[in-house]
Amino acid sequence: MLGQLHDLDLQLLRLFVSVVECGGFSAAQGELGLSQSSISQHMARLETRLGYRLCSRGKGGFKLTAKGEQLLLATRGLFESIETFRHQSNGVAGRLMGEVRLGLSEALDPSVLQRVARAISHFRQRDESVRLELISAMPGEMERLLLQQRLDLAIGYFSQAQSAFDYRPLFSETQHLYCAAGHPLFSLPEPDATALAAGDLVEHPYRFLRNDLPLHNRVGSARSEQVEGTLAFILSGQNVGHLPEHFARSWQDQGLLKAIGQPQHSFEVAFHLARHRAQVPGDAQVAFEEDLLAAFEQ
């Protein structure tokens, strides 16, 4: 009776199937490259391992016993399962699997989202079975999630002060200083430095203003980390604030916003692809990062 299956048992079972398919010991000699006596010995060994007879042979020819018939069915099922396992295990070897979580900053330019979409499309053409998750968050929140390894990658305007992160430059975004219709500066053709300095600036808690900008150290009566919140303060006519050029364009086209103090109060914000350098990336993360970087290089 078989306990555990060993390589020898599989060899004997394959020989058994070959003998049956050839129709007997004599006919199987050419198929197996063995003498009839060797085949007979191997069959006897298999029967000893099993504890029952598999076939009878004599004047009536080769014939399986009832137990031999059952073993033939079981053996064919076993080899089919082994073949299925082989195909599945080989298929997994080169396939990307798992999950990749990407953080995205708010109010991104449509061209940026198109590049992210291009990276996703290219990634989906790989041999993969990966769950992609996109999470929109503020830069500070994305850094926290990266530190907690709840994000694998993040695209945003980061302080770059975190020594735990690797940063790869992607693109830059132009920010202008804006006021809205109803604000005293809106009607002035070119507000002077004194008038600009008197403006009540919307404070951004995540400091990305350069130290050489005139309003970099101002503390205003309004505070917002989100672009939409900054816009609401500006549209009230009570505050001035910085907005991404692409985000403010439609409001400016409607005559509701006006860029002021250019170029002194305009600046570029650098966006990076960040990841935690202590987190060992899986194959799927490495491939998706490659596709993101390639999309932004085009």
pLDDT per residue rounded down to tens, the chain (298 residues): 676 788 888 999 999 999 999 988 988 898 888 998 999 999 999 999 899 999 987 776 788 999 999 999 999 999 888 888 877 766 666 789 999 999 999 899 999 999 999 999 999 999 899 999 999 998 889 999 999 999 999 999 887 777 899 999 999 999 999 999 999 999 998 888 888 878 888 988 765 545 555 555 566 789 998 999 999 999 999 999 999 999 999 999 999 999 998 888 888 899 999 999 988 899 999 999 999 999 999 7
Cβ-proximal residues to 43 (8 Å cutoff; 6+ apart), any chain: 12, 15, 16, 19, 25, 54, 55
How many Å apart are CA 19 and CA 98, to the nearest integer? 45
Q: pTM score > 0.85 for this model?
A: no
Q: Which residues contact 196 (CB under 8 A, 6 or more apart)?
A: 177, 185, 214, 215, 240, 260, 261, 265
